[in-house]
Amino acid sequence: MTTSTTTASATAFAGFGLGLRTDHYLPILADKPAVDWFEILSENYMVPGGKPLAMLDAVRADYPVVMHGVSMSIGTPQGPGAEYLRDLKNLMSRVAPLWVSDHICWTGVHGKNMHDLFPLPYNEETIALVVNNVRRVQDVLGRRLVLENVSSYLQYSSDSMPEWEFVAAIAEQADSMILLDVNNIYVSSINHGFDAGDYLCGIPVHRVQQIHLAGHSNHGTHIVDTHDQPVADPVWDLYAQAIHRFGAVPSMIERDDNIPPLAELVAELDQARSICAAVCAGRMPVASAA
């Protein structure tokens, strides 16, 4: 499959976005905030009708959207089901997303979705399985898939490589793109004791399509990716390193609990804009991730 024209280039900057949440439907439509695009949770809109789709259509009239899934389960042996991919493609036709993303993980077995993003063993066998699934999905969708690194709280005895090598190999072999979640990198680096800068260095620059920023909960002995807090200072620092290495990449903030007023999230997004602009202009010294 030729995919070079079916998704935005990693070098074609598309600005700064927010996750579209029900709390903000009406403020978005009323206030038209300074947001370049909104990221939707695909599964919330893979329905035949109702208020969510009506609100999405209204937002879509004013803003581009990107689609972000949480149930593709690209790491299971059977891969995504035909019905799921059909509904996903129908939603794509409706909203014409800038790109379509999901996670490098598994979410359930035997057709049962456990509604969590479980990490995979980092080894060659898993790479081959995921690459095969990604290629099949890309053939169905007719475009490159963008896949996100997840936060993790355990490691497998069968791991044979670091996570960044695993993520990079999938993207290169499947000719897919990467959604680099900077908060997830930071969370996992603390939980597993690796250097987050090493992670950034291991990711191929030309594969990074998007960056996620989010908050977490620090429990002292470990950190949990909760999306219920503002972006923490160490994550902002790592974001600056990411921009230093990858350049201006479309970036967004996720907030899924303790959701503040829209204006507060837009102000936080402006911080991402400022950091990106300062790093790209050489006004902000950062620890080099190159």
Judge whether 103 lies within some domain.
Answer: yes
Domain around 243:
16-280
Higher-pLDDT residue of 114 and 288 is: 114
Residues 239-251 pLDDT 10s? 999 999 999 999 9
Judge whether 63 lies within some domain.
Answer: yes
Dihedrals phi, psi of 127, to nearest 5 degrees:
-55, -45
Contact status, residue 266 vs residue 18, Cβ threshold 8 Å: yes
Residues 95-119 pLDDT 10s? 999 999 999 998 877 667 767 788 9
CATH code, domain carrying 75: 3.20.20.150
Containing 115, the helix (H) or strand (E) segment is: strand 112-118
Judge whether 288 lies within some domain.
Answer: no
Dist. CA 45–CA 64, nearest whole Å: 15
Judge whether 152 lies within some domain.
Answer: yes
> What was the pLDDT predicted at 82?
95
Q: Is the pLDDT of residue 3 over 90?
A: no
**C-alpha dihedral (111, 115, 116, 120), degrees to nearest 10:** 20
Judge whether 3 lies within some domain.
Answer: no
Q: Tally the residues of the chain.
A: 290
Global confidence as pTM: 0.93
What is the number of domains present in the chain? 1
Q: Which of 99, 255, 243 is nearest to 179 (CA)?
A: 99
Judge whether 233 lies within some domain.
Answer: yes
Judge whether 137 lies within some domain.
Answer: yes
Residues 147-169 pLDDT 10s? 999 999 999 999 999 999 999 99
Q: Which of 258, 282, 281, 248 is nearest to 14 (CA)?
A: 248
